[in-house]
A = this chain, B = another copy of it.
Amino acid sequence: MKFDYDIYSDRCPTRAVLDRIADKWALLILDRLALGPTRFNVLRRDITGISQKVLSQTLKLLERDGLISRTAYPTVPVTVEYALTPLGENLTEAVAAFAHWAESNMEAIRKAQLAYDRRERRSDAGVTPKASR
């Protein structure tokens, strides 16, 4: 079976999907949910730096795309648990490979950045590196 989808075309619906999953926060959420169903505030505390607004938005969109499920338990206060759906689990391997590539290659990247910045300084002007803003 072949797909007539083309990720390089902005008219292709796959682009919208890429837009959703190729996102720092979505990736971290999916990766974290791979460890098991998790409540809203636990996600918020574990994924340092995410704001409530963005967490809530991202969860809603991931739910709409069928990657995660949301279950509210009528405890007090209400408990809301998010979990991967089978479709979402389907993606976890790729997500994990991706998210943890950074951990494995951090040294090489740091070296590359230092070399680049040294070169830039020699050749004057200089792209403003994000870190120095």
- Residues of A near any B CB (own CB < 8 A): 3, 5-11, 13-19, 21-24, 27-28, 31-32, 46-49, 60-61, 63-67, 87, 90-91, 93-95, 97-106, 108-113, 115-117, 127, 129-131
List of B residues within 8 angstroms of A49 by Cβ: 10, 15
18 A-B contacts (beta carbon < 8 Å): A5-B102, A6-B103, A7-B31, A8-B48, A10-B48, A13-B110, A15-B24, A18-B99, A21-B101, A22-B99, A23-B23, A61-B130, A64-B116, A64-B117, A64-B129, A66-B108, A87-B109, A91-B101
Report which of B5, B11, B97, B102 forms a contact with A48, defined as CB distance below 8 A.
B11
CB of A106 within 8 A of CB of B66, answer no
CB of B106 within 8 A of CB of A5, answer yes
